Structure 1
Amino acid sequence: MSGRVAQQEGLAAMALRLRAAGVVNNDLLKAVEQTPRGLFCPAPYQEDVYSRRLIPLDCGSFMEGCDFAIRLIHCLNVKPGQRVLEVGTGSGFTAGVIGRLAERVLTIDRYQTLVGTAQKNLEKAGIRNVVVRHADGSVGAPGEGTFDRILITAAFDSLPRMYSDHLVSGGTLLVPIMMNETRCRIVRVNRTGSRFDREDLFEAPYLPIVPQLASFL
């Protein structure tokens, strides 16, 4: 079986798993199909592109299992015309899928190596509305204004107020919160005016966020 056929079958199997789990947003599934994950995945792991396993990246980072990554975007409920911030670029795949749904995406990462690789991956995928920036996600996104949706992929000890302040009214923040030293959970925050409503969703594989830019990576 060729690698291309294997990936097509993996994509179809993943779509069936997601639908069975209640992810039935056709626009989202179409965006995933239009963003070939193999372009974002390191060569040694091409057979695992659409699997549930974590895939190692440079700088000690990783790609989430594909089902988990799409589930996050589903929970974010991205709409056309929206401005989205992602904290933790990784391979660029998640930002790429969101870019198929939103007006504009800003994604930031503390590792210059990951920023450079993600930019190349997004260019290969033909995605032009995603801006990749080398920045310290532990301090928010000063000077970037507000966003309709914010996705954070590194865990905080508590809700990060600086990101809540980046939300427009009607906006949604998805952030991993450390419940204790070993457990992390995805939390969704919806803003309505000055009110913030929190909803705890599901366990996550993320590690605590690391402050400051990386020195050499």
Structure 2
Amino acid sequence: MTARVAEREGFAALVLRLRAEGISDIDLLTAVEQTPRSQFVPPEFAGSAYSSRTLPIPCGSFMEGADMAVRLLDRLKLKPGHRVLEVGTGSGFTAAVMGRIVERVLSIDRYKTLVNDAQQRLDALSLRNVIVRQADGSVGLQGEGTFDRILVTTAFPAMPRFYVEQLVSGGSMIAPLIASEDSCRMVRLTRVGSRFERDDLFEVPYMPIVPKLASIL
């Protein structure tokens, strides 16, 4: 089986699983199809690129399974013209998919290795509207204005107020919150004027956020 055929079959199987969950947003699924996931996973895991498995990536980090990645993006309800902030670049896959839908994506990570690797993948796909930057996501991000959507993929003990305040009115943020020692739940906050509406979504496997920039990796 060639790599191209394996990619197509993996994507087709993913779409069937997602549709069984009620996820059928054609713009989102097209963006996923146009972003070869096998280019974002370590070579030894290419055969699991479209599986629901959590896969290890450099710097002791991991990338969520394909099902979880698309499920999160579906909950974000991305639209053309949106400005999006992603906290936790990881492999760069979700940033790449979002970049095919929205106007601009700013993605940050504490690891320079992950930032450089993700940028190379994005450059290879000619996604010029996605900017990846090394930054300490535990203290917020100043000087970048407001965003229509914010996606956080590393867990906080409480909803990070410094990010919530960067939402436009009508904007929403999805972030994993630590519920207990062995439980983490994805939560969505939507800004309605000066107040916020909260929706608890589902359990997620994310690890607690690590402060400060990585000094070596």
What TM-score comes out, normalization by structure 1 length?
0.99
Number of residue pairs matched?
Answer: 217
Name the counterpart of 1:24. 24
Q: Distance in 2 between matches of 1:145 and 1:6?
A: 41
Q: Could you say what secondary structure the match of 1:150 adopts?
A: strand
Q: Deviations over 1:40-89 (max 9, x none)?
A: 11111100010000111100111100010000000000110010000000
Structure-2 separation of matches of 1:35 and 1:3 = 14
Give, in angstroms, the shift of residue 151 of structure 1.
0.1
When the two chains are superposed, the root-mean-square deviation of aligned CA atoms in Å is: 0.7
- Structure 2 matches for 1:128-147, cutoff 5 A? 128-147=128-147
Matched, 1:179 2:179: yes
Q: Which runs of 5+ in 2 are unaligned?
A: none
For 2:179 and 2:39, the matched residues in 1 are separated by: 34
Give SS of 2:180's match: coil
* Distance in 2 of aligned mates of 1:139 and 1:196: 21
1:54/1:64 contact within 8 Å kept: yes
Shift of 1:123: 1.0
Deviations 1:102-134 (A, max 9, x none): 000000000000000000011112211100000
- Whether contact under 8 Å (2:155, 2:207) holds in the other structure is yes
- Return the alpha-carbon distance in structure 1 between the equivalents of residues 216 and 180 of structure 2: 30
Q: How many Å apart are 1:6 and its aligned residue?
A: 1.7
Over residues 115-160 of structure 1, what are the superposed CA-to-partner deviations in whole Å (9 max), with x where a residue is unaligned?
A: 0000001111221110000000001111111100000000000111
Structure 2 length as normaliser, TM-score? 0.99
Q: Secondary structure at the match of 1:121?
A: helix
Partners of 1:89 and 1:118 within 8 A in 2: yes
Which residue matches 1:170?
170
Identical-pair percentage: 61
Is 1:104 the equivalent of 2:104? yes
SS at match of 1:179: strand
Give the match's secondary structure for 1:200. strand
Is the 2:7–2:36 Cα contact (8 Å) retained in structure 1?
Answer: no
